[in-house]
């Protein structure tokens, strides 16, 4: 699909890969972001775009000399990790329930955390820089260590999947846990206070920003990069535990070498070159899809997921969607569907089937097949996955 051009302001446009007309609230949120004077060229909206806080989830914003924390979000560095295992699904026959139970006993989910940090966690080089982070999180060092290697809640998940060649894949979705959230909240609060003191009239108070060259910008950029690294390593720690569990059941605990490994953020910011200029690119619910970049686009817990390779589309700032995108809010999903609906829609998947995850029912999400069809100019599909085990936060 080619994009649709939306005229939001006289200066800045939005290019949308969604196959639907944005709601009034979504259009206004895109217009708010596009109206900021430092936004570069245009805003790119991915096929799974939907309402967020301050900025749309599924939006890509390039800026010159400024950063908007809300255009990244509070779960800094949230993203996906997947590995293709060197064996077929027959190795898992009759073992799926035990694998799920072992994952749940080994990897904390929801608000739970590890009792103590293990050797892999303690060896992370990032701890050396913790003392340089925002002074409002100095008391959270112990919690950050214990949460390293934990999943979190909401739409975070761990899955065993099978692809179209019958190969086994391990996949998980998580971010920077409480420490990333706390860092983001503190910097957003600082940005709002700066705007208030300057008497600046923002289209949305959540779009407070930092200007390059200021102390506040430097502090946010430092903490942002740290939290992104924390999130990536958090996924590595969980994947190592996850892989060992599956290997114990599938091949008697013998370590194996993955055929392919992918670990990518979808809530983050980096310096990149686009249209010949160096800019800050913030992706909120979007994955980098430069030419030959590997990415992961998951569906809901009852639908297909995709391993993809980027095509380097300039108009999208070399980006693609990060998933199916929600169709219903969590509260609306709980009011609309029953436990029987959840059981029916997750048939064939070894997972929890209780009201605690009713807000994650597959029908609460957009059809992933349509989302993929809308971005065939952004990515090519490398593998199509279907989960057989799903552990939710």
- 305 has binding-site annotation: yes
- 189 has binding-site annotation: no
- 300 has binding-site annotation: yes
- 156 has binding-site annotation: yes
- 75 has binding-site annotation: yes
- 301 has binding-site annotation: yes
Cα(347)–Cα(277) distance, integer angstroms = 49
- 376 has binding-site annotation: no
Cα(384)–Cα(164) distance, integer angstroms = 6
- Exposure b/e, 207-221, CB count within 10 A at least 16 = b: bbbbeeeeebbebbb
- 322 has binding-site annotation: yes
- 88 has binding-site annotation: no
- 324 has binding-site annotation: yes
Catalytic residue, candidates 42, 50, 265, 322: 322
- 155 has binding-site annotation: yes
- 79 has binding-site annotation: no
- 167 has binding-site annotation: no
- 266 has binding-site annotation: yes
Q: Does residue 322 carry a catalytic annotation?
A: yes
Residues annotated as binding site? 75, 155-159, 173, 266-267, 298-301, 305, 322-325, 392
Query: Which residues carry a binding-site annotation for Mn(2+)?
Result: 75, 156, 173, 266
Question: What is the set of active-site residues?
Answer: 322
Annotated binding site for GMP: 155-159, 266-267, 298-301, 305, 322-325, 392
């Amino acid at each position: 699909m080619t994009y649709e051009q939306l005229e939001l302001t006289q200066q800045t446009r939005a290019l949308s890969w969604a196959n639907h007309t944005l709601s009034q609230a979504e259009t206004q949120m895109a217009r708010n972001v596009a109206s900021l004077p430092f936004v570069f060229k245009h805003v790119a909206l991915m096929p799974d775009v939907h309402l967020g806080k301050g900025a749309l989830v599924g939006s890509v914003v390039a800026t010159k000399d400024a950063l908007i924390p809300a255009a990244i979000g509070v779960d800094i560095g949230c993203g996906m990790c997947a590995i293709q295992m060197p064996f077929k699904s027959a190795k898992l026959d009759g073992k799926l329930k035990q694998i799920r139970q072992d994952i749940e006993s080994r990897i904390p989910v929801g608000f739970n955390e590890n009792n103590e940090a293990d050797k892999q966690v303690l060896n992370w080089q990032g701890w050396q820089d913790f003392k340089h982070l925002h002074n409002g999180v100095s008391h959270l060092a112990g919690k950050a260590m214990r949460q390293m290697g934990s999943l979190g809640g909401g739409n975070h998940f761990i899955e065993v999947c099978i692809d179209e060649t019958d190969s086994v894949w391990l996949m998980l979705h998580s971010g920077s846990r409480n420490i990333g959230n706390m860092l983001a909240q503190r910097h957003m609060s600082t940005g709002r206070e700066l705007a208030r003191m300057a008497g600046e009239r923002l289209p949305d108070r959540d779009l407070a920003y930092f200007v390059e060259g200021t102390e506040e910008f430097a502090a946010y950029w430092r903490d942002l990069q740290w939290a992104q690294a924390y999130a990536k390593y958090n996924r590595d720690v969980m994947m190592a535990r996850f892989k060992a569990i599956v290997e114990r059941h599938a091949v008697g605990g013998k370590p194996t070498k993955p055929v392919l490994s992918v670990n990518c953020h979808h809530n983050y910011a980096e310096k990149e070159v686009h249209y010949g200029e160096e800019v800050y690119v913030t992706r909120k619910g979007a994955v980098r899809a430069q030419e030959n970049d590997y990415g992961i686009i998951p569906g809901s817990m009852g639908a297909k997921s995709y391993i993809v390779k980027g095509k380097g589309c300039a108009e999208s700032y070399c980006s693609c969607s990060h998933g199916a995108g929600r169709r219903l809010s969590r509260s609306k999903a709980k009011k609309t569907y029953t436990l029987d609906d959840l059981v029916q829609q997750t048939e064939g998947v070894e997972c929890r089937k209780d009201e605690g995850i009713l807000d994650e029912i597959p029908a609460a999400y957009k059809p992933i097949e349509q989302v993929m069809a809308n971005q065939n100019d952004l990515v090519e599909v490398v593998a199509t996955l279907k989960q057989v085990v799903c552990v939710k936060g």
